[in-house]
Every structure is written in structure tokens, then in C-alpha cells.
Amino acid sequence: MDDELTIAGTVVRSRLITGSGKYRDDRIIKDVLEAAECDIITVALRRIDFDRPREGVLDHIPKGKVLLPNTSGARTAEEAIRLARLAMAMGCGNWIKIEVINDQKYLLPDNAETVTATRTLAKEGFVALPYMSPDLIVARRLVDAGAAAVMPLAAPIGSNRGLATRDMLEILVDEMTVPVIVDAGIGRPSHAAEAMELGVDAVLLNTAIASSDDPVAMARAFKYAVRAGRLAYLAGMAGTSKTARPSSPLTGFLDPMSDIS
């Protein structure tokens, strides 16, 4: 299927984006990426040893992948900007997932600070992908600030609850002029397929794969789920009805008035 995703001029084949955290052993990351066939992988900057950046998690990410550092741990726009600049300085490229979170119970993003960080980093040449609570007005402000995509949460980080924000996600899909990437809350392959059926451009998940009994097999399951959901969306799914709709015509079948004796 020739259905590539373009973000800021970069074409990627896969609409599944995976993370690199929570694995029992980082050495499995390479196998997970191969099973998922994803092109973009996120990495938390706080997990990188800046004195020895190529020793640790980055050492297990194959060449040719788009590295998406995130500013996890930033509580303000200023902290997120500083982390992004540090990532670029150490050779991680100019892609950045902007996370600004100062709520420690639900880990919900601070949308206002996220807009501020996005504006500054986009002006500095970053491909800014902001993580956000789904809100149409905020999403529009992020696009105006230079966001290459918007990344609304489906449910709180690590909750595996699925599309708790489904109605808002549908609004963003209808209104956004940049890719919509669902991030956080996806816990099952069926959740990923459902998100893709809505018309989102991609899904990003980490916990559901990393915390499963078999991360490699789960990565493969999510790969197929994302593809199935995308194909269903492109095919145009049938509408729903409150009453039954026969799949075969009933006219002329066993006319109750006919004499069958």
C-alpha cells in the first residue's frame, strides 16, 4: 500500500511510533523495532548519559531510524527549550517531542507552556511535535506556533485505557492541517486500530509493548493493528444503524399468504 506519512518534509513508511523506555533489558529494543517495522523512535533525554551518549539506550537503536528525543521531565517551557537545545548539541538531530508536565498525579501536559516552547523551538529550526491535552483551540495555536504535528493524548500516560478522549480526537482529525499523532493511553492493539479508524495519522505508544510478557510479539501485533485500522479508514467504513439491516434481500421469501400445501 502506497500510503506514506509525511512530517515536515520527511517521508516515513510506518504509522506506528514506539518509545524506548521501560524495557527490562535495552538490548531487546533492536528486535522490537524490527518487529514493529517503525521508522521513528522516541527517547527520553534524561535516560542518556551525556558524557557517553553512545553508551546506553542510543546504542541499541539501529541506524536509519528517525530519533525523536523528548523533553520528559520538563516542568516549564524554559526547561523544555533547554533540553531540546541540549539534544541537538549532542547530535540527536532537530526533531523534538515537546513534553511540559507539572502535574505529577495524572501527568497531564501544560498546554500553555507547550505552546510557548513550540513557538521558540520552531523558530530555531526544530521539527516540533508537541504532546498535548486534546483541545481544538490549543491545537490551532500550536500549528500557528510552528508545530509539525500535534500529539494529543488518548488517555493519561501509561494508563492503557484506550481512547478516553475519542470525541476530541475526532474533532482534531477533522480540523487539523498537520498530522495528528495519538500519544499516550494506547494499551491494546485494538485501541491502536480504533484510533487509526478515526483517521489519525499515526499512533505513538511505549508501555503497552515494553510492559508486555513478549515485547517483540506485541510490537508485531501493534504493527498489524495500525495497518488494519488505516486500511479500514481509507476503505470507508459502513455506517451504523439502530435497527437490523439484512445482508440478503428478503422480498419474495416464503410469502406467508402463499399456498404451500
Catalytic positions: 97
- How far apart, in whole angstroms, are the C-alpha atoms of residue 120 and residue 128? 10
C-alpha cell, 169 = 480526537
CA-wise closest residue to 136 among 152, 120, 154, 156: 152
d(CA 99, CA 74) in angstroms, rounded, equals 7
Distance CA 15, CA 37 (A): 10
Contacts of residue 197, defined as CB under 8 A and 6 or more positions apart, other chains included, come to 229, 232, 233, 237
Cα atoms in the 13 Å half-sphere on the side-chain side of 158: 8
| Backbone CA torsion sign across 13, 32, 221, 71 | negative
Distance (Å, rounded) from C-alpha 51 to C-alpha 73?
Answer: 19
